[in-house]
Amino acid sequence: MTAHVINGKELVSSVREQFKQEVSELAEKGIQPGLAVVLVGDDAASAVYVRNKAKACEAAGIYSVVHRLPAETSQEELLKLISELNGDAAINGILVQLPLPKHIHEETVLDAIDVAKDVDCFHPVNVGNLMIGKKGFLPCTPAGVIEILKRMDVQISGKHAVVIGRSNIVGKPMAMLLLREHATVTVCHSKTPNMEEITRQADILIAAVGRAQMIKAKHVKPGAVVVDVGINRMESGKLAGDVDFDDVVETAGMITPVPGVVGPMTITMLLKNTIEAAKRANGLV
């Protein structure tokens, strides 16, 4: 059996087209959603992600501004910028690209972002709202994964979903969103013994470990839907997911290649959150 390989270009462009349409409808009301992205330091991967986010905004008609700050920026300077952006009416969403330099306390910075502008859904209030199922922002990568599953007509309700990884950005909120969709959810992590016994029970397997090509065919139930959230730079310079694609493609029923599906869909969910923030700021939802 060879898996259905999801075509990210097709999938993502149809979702972005829908948001572009929403932005043009807002423009008719004199509203332009605005996103501020803050990048501190010169992490090469972060610079690429930030550039892609700004480009996607531009293509959708969303105003975007990127604040590129030097690595030695103090926490106070960063907090001052966030405070200014919190008060800027042209800005509906604020995203501070992670990781931050070591001397900056990440939690303090994320907590300083206005809850209504927290389009990453990293603020404890928004995380709490997610946990209790209250309406609000959804974190971009997990929301993107759900969007992919739904658009591919994958049934989630009643299925066993296994998430590998327990990060605050992906693993934990991913489990929560799958639960919301009525999946039975198991979370595996680095201390899980006999992990493959568990992952082999998954109808839907989400890999968010951050280790290149760690998930092999032996981890996958034949016919399972495999979503690869990982993006790792190999020594050769090539990008690879957490899933060993060539090995797993023969066993899975459906698979997302890396790069090209989860990454662009994550950015698409950022556009969605920014549009939602602008609507809320203007009393439209």
Q: Which of 139, 35, 53, 38 is nearest to 93 (CA)?
A: 35
The answer to whether 94 contacts ligand GUN (rule: CB under 6 A) is no
Rg (CA), the chain: 19
CB of 3 to ligand GUN, least distance (A): 26
The answer to whether 273 contacts ligand GUN (rule: CB under 6 A) is no
The answer to whether 140 contacts ligand GUN (rule: CB under 6 A) is yes
Residue choice 36, 78, 95, 202 for contact with ligand GUN (CB under 6 A)? 95
The answer to whether 271 contacts ligand GUN (rule: CB under 6 A) is no
| Residues 116/117/119/122 CA torsion (nearest 10 deg) | -70
Draw the binding track, 97-136, toward ligand GUN (x: CB under 6 A; -: no contact). Answer: xx---------------------x----------------
The answer to whether 3 contacts ligand GUN (rule: CB under 6 A) is no
The answer to whether 169 contacts ligand GUN (rule: CB under 6 A) is yes
Q: Which of 117, 118, 120, 228 is catalytic?
A: 120
Q: Is 272 a catalytic residue?
A: no
Q: Could you list the active site residues?
A: 53, 97, 120
- Which residues in this chain contact ligand GUN in the complex, by CB under 6 A? 95-98, 120, 140-141, 169
